[in-house]
């Protein structure tokens, strides 16, 4: 039945969107948020996010309000739900997969709850969609490795599919989603400027950002190669090098800086008080980022900063972003298309990506960006 002839629900006056928990996933949700905002201009749209995601999205016009909370402990969902109840949301779109976020929406009294059937939460959803399994999805259906596992659907598409299900139930037909986007507030510009001054970056001096961390050590390219890359970028492209990471990655960033040649002058941002808000401003001015598969990659792409992304035993198809100035390097580019890198950790060890391949990718992007200036 065509979408236009389907019975439709009454559009909600107040919509809650439960945002992804990770920085990169939150950025990949922005194309979907933009579509919803444009198709529901009269609705009050609130977002529920974990601490830190509010910094990433600070200044956005995609949401009318951000609720920041974390459902820690047995009573965590109830406490978060109590914060939401006064807003009397009519519907909730759960971009998360967790049981706890579905429970929050239910306890908060949200009448309609859209989400994926994951984590045993189907009974908490009023409108559910089943993510594709590998056995039902080409080309993964040709593999005998974990056929019941979830198919690697890019996060941008994953969120948009769910939003499309919700929008069509209200008689709305979304077009194609646009690119990822991030705002940069005046305060974030100011904190980034101050951070760059502390790092010794003067005026319009060109620099590259290296992001060597990640939530899984198996996703981290070897520190000595990041150091060698920093030396190369300084010597051959006259780029200052800033090494960025979370507070927990400060020692890793220090190790990389210590391994660099003194004349490189690499600086660790971890020791200079970097925040997610300041990082947005720093990344937005960079000539280049080289990163493992982690959140700053998506921040760079949202600001159209050329990025070299390194993938080990995490399949790049989970996070495909279709950014023209990105070069993706996989640990094993010969892995059959039907196989998922996550299932082959030894074959797809990130250390298999050579320094020469990363240098070549950097050269390609830097030459391309010079021509486009």
Q: Which of 123, 89, 198, 152 is nearest to 315 (CA)?
A: 152
The burial class, CB within 10 Å (0-12 / 13-18 / 19+), for 275 is middle
Structure tokens at 326: 């990105």
At 6, is the pLDDT very low, low, confident or very high (cuts 50, 70, 90)?
low
pLDDT given for residue 3 in this prediction: 45
At 75, is the pLDDT very low, low, confident or very high (cuts 50, 70, 90)?
confident
Among the ranges given (5-9, 96-100, 202-206, 289-293), the one the predictor scored with the smallest mean pLDDT: 5-9
Assess whether pLDDT exceeds 80 at residue 371.
Answer: no
At 26, is the pLDDT very low, low, confident or very high (cuts 50, 70, 90)?
very high
Q: Which of 340, 351, 334 is nearest to 317 (CA)?
A: 340
Q: How far apart are CA 152 and CA 140, in angstroms?
A: 9
- Please, which contacts does 128-132 make with residues 24 or more away whose CB atoms are closer than 8 Å? 129/161, 129/162, 129/165, 131/158
Reported as a single tens digit per residue, the pLDDT across 302-338 is: 999 999 999 999 999 999 998 999 999 999 999 999 9
**Beta sheet of 288-292, edge-to-edge order:** 267-268, 240-243, 207-211, 288-292, 307-311, 326-330
The fraction of the chain above a pLDDT of 90, given in percent, is 92
Assess whether pLDDT exceeds 70 at residue 15.
Answer: yes
Tell me the H-state helices in the chain. Answer: 23-28, 30-39, 53-57, 76-84, 99-107, 155-169, 186-198, 223-237, 250-259, 276-284, 295-302, 355-372
Q: Do 18 and 93 contact (CB within 8 A), yes or no? A: yes
**Beta sheet of 65-68, edge-to-edge order:** 65-68, 44-49, 14-18, 91-94, 112-116, 127-129
Assess whether pLDDT exceeds 70 at residue 203.
Answer: yes
Structure tokens at 216: 């899984």
Reported as a single tens digit per residue, the pLDDT across 82-93 is: 999 999 999 999
Strands 91-94 and 207-211: unpaired
Assess whether pLDDT exceeds 50 at residue 262.
Answer: yes
Sign of torsion over alpha carbons 231, 209, 23, 311: negative
Cis before 142 (ω within 30): no
Q: Do 279 and 193 contact (CB within 8 A), yes or no? A: no
Q: How many CB atoms lie within 10 A of CB 5?
A: 8
Helix axes 223-237, 355-372, angle to 10 degrees: 40
Q: Kindly provide the b/e burial profile for residues 316-351, where b requires at least 16 CB atoms within 10 angstroms of the residue's own CB.
A: bebbbbebebbbbbbbbeebeeebbbbbbeeebebe
Sign of torsion over alpha carbons 229, 22, 65, 75: negative
What structural domains does the chain harbor? Answer: 8-169 (3.40.50.2000), 186-372 (3.40.50.2000)
The larger pLDDT score, comparing residue 70 to residue 169, is at 169
At 370, is the pLDDT very low, low, confident or very high (cuts 50, 70, 90)?
low
Q: Do 115 and 125 contact (CB within 8 A), yes or no? A: yes
Q: Provide Rg for the chain, Cα atoms.
A: 22
Q: How far apart are CA 357 and CA 140, in angstroms?
A: 28
The larger pLDDT score, comparing residue 204 to residue 207, is at 207
Among the ranges given (1-5, 94-98, 307-311), the one the predictor scored with the smallest mean pLDDT: 1-5
Residue 100 Ramachandran class (φ > 0 left, ψ -120 to 50 alpha, else beta): alpha
Assess whether pLDDT exceeds 80 at residue 42.
Answer: yes
Q: How far apart are CA 127 and CA 13, in angstroms?
A: 18
At 1, is the pLDDT very low, low, confident or very high (cuts 50, 70, 90)?
very low
pLDDT given for residue 4 in this prediction: 45
pLDDT given for residue 335 in this prediction: 97
At 7, is the pLDDT very low, low, confident or very high (cuts 50, 70, 90)?
low
């Amino acid at each position: 039945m065509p979408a236009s002839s389907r019975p439709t629900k009454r559009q909600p006056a107040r919509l809650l969107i439960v945002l992804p928990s990770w920085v990169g996933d939150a950025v990949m949700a922005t194309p979907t948020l933009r579509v919803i905002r444009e198709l529901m201009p009269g609705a009050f749209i609130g977002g529920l996010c974990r601490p830190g995601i509010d910094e990433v999205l600070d200044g956005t016009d995609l949401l009318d309000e951000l609720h920041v909370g974390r459902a820690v402990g047995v009573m965590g969902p109830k406490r978060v739900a109590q914060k939401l109840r006064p807003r009397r949301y009519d519907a909730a779109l759960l971009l998360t997969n967790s049981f706890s976020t579905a429970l929050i929406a239910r306890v908060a009294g949200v009448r309609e709850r859209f989400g994926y059937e994951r984590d045993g939460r189907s009974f908490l959803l009023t409108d559910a969609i089943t993510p594709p399994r590998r056995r039902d999805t080409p080309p993964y259906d040709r593999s005998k490795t974990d056929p019941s596992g979830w198919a690697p659907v890019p996060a941008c598409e994953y969120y948009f599919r769910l939003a499309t299900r919700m929008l069509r139930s209200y008689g709305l037909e979304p077009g194609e989603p646009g690119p990822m986007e991030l705002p940069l507030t005046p305060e974030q510009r100011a904190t980034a400027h101050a951070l760059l001054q502390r790092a010794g970056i003067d005026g319009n001096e060109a620099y590259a950002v290296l992001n060597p961390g990640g939530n899984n050590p198996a996703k981290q390219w070897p520190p000595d190669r990041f150091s060698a890359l920093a030396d190369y970028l300084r010597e051959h492209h006259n780029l200052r090098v800033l090494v960025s990471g979370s507070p927990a990655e400060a020692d890793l960033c220090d190790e990389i800086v210590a391994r660099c040649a003194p004349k490189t002058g690499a600086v660790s941002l971890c020791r200079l008080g970097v925040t997610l808000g300041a990082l947005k401003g720093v990344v937005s001015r960079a000539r280049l980022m080289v990163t493992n598969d982690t959140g700053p990659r998506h921040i760079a792409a949202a600001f159209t900063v050329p990025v070299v992304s390194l993938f080990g035993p995490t399949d790049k198809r989970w996070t495909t972003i279709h950014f023209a100035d990105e070069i993706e390097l996989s640990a094993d580019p010969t892995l059959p298309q039907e196989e998922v890198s996550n299932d082959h950790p030894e074959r797809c060890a990130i250390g298999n990506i050579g320094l020469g391949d990363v240098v070549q990718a950097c050269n390609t992007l830097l030459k391309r960006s010079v021509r486009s200036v």
